[in-house]
Chains A and B, each alone.
Chain A
Amino acid sequence: MSTSITAPAGRPAPSRGSSTSQTEAPRPITGKSISVGRRVRNTTATVLVGLAVLVAAVPLAFVLVYVVSKGGGVFNLAFLTESIPISSRRAGPGMGPAVAGTLLITGAATLMAVPLGILAAVYLNEYGQANRLAAAIRFLSDVMAGVPSIVMGLFIYTVWVLRFGMSGFAGALALACLMLPIVIRSTEGVLRLVPRDLREASTALGARTSRTILTVVIPAALPGITSGCLLAVARAAGETAPLLFTIGTVRALNPNLFEGTNTALSAQIFVNAQLPFVAAQNRAWGAALTLILLVLLLTIIARIISARFTVR
């Protein structure tokens, strides 16, 4: 067996590879060897993909530029802290109560939806898996994700506001209902990506399922869970319709979530943009810019948290 591979010294081994390379010229590796049709198709596809990116990015850029140019004029620190002028005609700051309201209401909604959503996702992916209850929950959360936000607002209006009146908390309930399916589905997706290897490693060391989830699965999935939750928060922060039924649109600051009508940036945009006064419209633009910056800030925080918890 070994004799057949060893060639006599000094002479190249006669093999099939060498004989073909002597008779055939090496195939060219310059661009000309690729057919015209293929090159045309390649260029077309590249151009189309580039155009698609452009078409997708242009509206986004326009919205940003427009909001900044319109809202930038009134936006300053006083705008964020001063109360809303009693007379809508009067120019000047601010949107303080709406900023506070958005932070409070969205914060309360987050406190309700995120823990519940993460627990539901843990149940779905780690315990329920393919059983009927899990399938039903998955189906319902998909349906819930598709419910228009105004319907969610009406729902909270009938079950809560009619009995207890408008309050920031009622708004938070409506937003939490909107956030819940987003949190559930994004968290479940991330949990599913945690490799089985890690669960097995933990189990093989004598960890119970609950322990494995708390100490291995959730930490491994944390960056993804965080960004999923932040996406839900950003979505909720911009919602207007469900708030109109549940918190009202007052001008005064109301730090009490559980009593009395409240206000939020999105609600103020809605109200002020409809007013015939330039000053009010400008404040609406300023509120829009504030909202965008708020979401941007949340996204940056989420990125930082994710980066800190990701072990590479």
Chain B
Amino acid sequence: MVLALVEHEAGTPEETSLEMLTLARDVAAGTGSSVETVAFEDGAAGLADDLDAYGVSDHHVVEHDRLGGYAPEAWAESVSQLADELTPDAILAPGSDRGHEVLAHVAARRDLPMAANCTDVTVGEEYELTRLRWGGSLIEEATLGGETKLLTAAEHEVSAEPVAEPTDAEIHRFSPTLDDADFRVTVDRYEESDEEGVPLGEARIVVGGGRGVGGPEDYDQLEELAELLGGTVGASRAAVNEGWRPHSDQVGQTGAKISPKLYIACGISGAVQHMVGCKGADNILAVNTDPEAAIIQKAEYAVIGDLHEVVPALNEAIRNAKS
């Protein structure tokens, strides 16, 4: 049996958790067993319907007086106690901040190895797996041992695919035994961002600017384009290092991973460290003066030209089209 930690927003599963469940199903098929899920927080029981579409046989809802919000150690201890009961072959989590954090705590508690950001798994005595290194710029083939195999699924790598015949997951309540030490670290409070607009990671359209933008002022044109399209502005690491944009705008290996419907990359050369941040985009439109730039090889569409001329002309054309 494979146990999978599902993240959700008030009862709606995160897309990355559905991707992870798709990978978990492969692992379960390899072990000749089923996928069972575990979830925390309000709305966890309500997930079952969505999980049926992903072939989940049993859904475990963790309940405890002190488990309100997120608490990494309490979550890890709960998953670990549930694993004592269920003795799964493998435990999977999404390759998110929480997924990595909880599973790494489980690994440390159970003295087991853990493989992060996996994209493919072949089950055997040891698991043969493919995982991402360098933020996805390199792929590693590795073997994973341990009595229980612990792995996270890389985000936006395996596409979430429902099963042909949905299951009817049985819901179980699980009450872990937790003590004060498990609650040393909890989310104390939530602070809303005062930044306007859609966060990069969720934006449907992202307009990215790189070194070719040339300075902070010239992002105005990109801002305008983003606004016309209902999107958000992003930047390459080069532009952030120049101080033209804040780090929160950075797309790439050490910045945001985006998955918009369209990414318009302006004056961005397309270094591999940048591309791993935007490979989740359905379509890339590159605007670049250099027809030999790497981004032209990696984009679906391109315009060869100076963004300082192309983007204002495009803004004008969109305004005309809209009116």
Q: Do A and B come from one complex?
A: no
Q: Give the interface of A toward B (CB within 8 A).
A: none
